[in-house]
């Protein structure tokens, strides 16, 4: 029995199935709450670490977390190109910045004041939030 034609048929079928799955229209990554909310929290942690001299980013933990998010997006069916477009989009960065500023303001703090970002960072570290877990006091 020659198995080669069966392998070719199975390979062709797998290719068609992959194409069919890719043809399904996915919502924008910004509409995936787990991804978008996590990106917001990472962005807030980064901003705090950049503006507050008494708090550092836990860079390896942050990078590992971002790789995990990339894996989640990939598992949801998003291509590398779609993920890259979301991460590098100027419009998405501006939208996330506005959401971050609103989050800081919701805590009664001014997102443009470094001391307030330090206060936020200290609060987030103390509450052991995702933001706090990506930061450490110097």
What pLDDT, in 10s, does the model give residues 5-39? 444 455 454 554 554 445 468 999 999 999 999 99
Cβ contacts of residue 28 below 8 Å, gap of 6+?
Answer: 86
Alpha carbon distance 60, 131 (integer Å): 14
pLDDT at 38: 95
Dist CA 3 CA 6 (whole Å) = 5
pTM above the 0.85 mark?
no
Tokens of 42: 């990472």
Integer CA distances (angstroms), 112 to 7, 40, 41, in order: 61, 17, 17
- Map out the domains of the chain as residue ranges: 27-137
């Amino acid at each position: 029995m020659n198995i080669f034609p069966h392998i070719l048929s199975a390979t062709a079928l797998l290719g068609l199935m992959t194409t069919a799955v890719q043809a399904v229209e996915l919502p924008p990554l910004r509409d995936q709450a787990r991804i978008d909310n996590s990106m917001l929290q990472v962005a807030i942690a980064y901003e705090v670490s950049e503006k507050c001299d008494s708090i550092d980013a836990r860079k390896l933990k942050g990078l590992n977390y971002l790789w995990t998010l990339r894996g989640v997006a990939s598992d949801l069916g998003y291509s590398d190109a779609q993920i890259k477009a979301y991460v590098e989009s100027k419009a998405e960065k501006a939208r996330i910045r506005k959401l971050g500023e609103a989050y800081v303001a919701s805590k009664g703090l001014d997102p443009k004041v470094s001391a307030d970002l330090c206060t936020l960072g200290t609060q987030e570290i103390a509450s052991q939030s995702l933001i706090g877990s990506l930061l450490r006091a110097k």
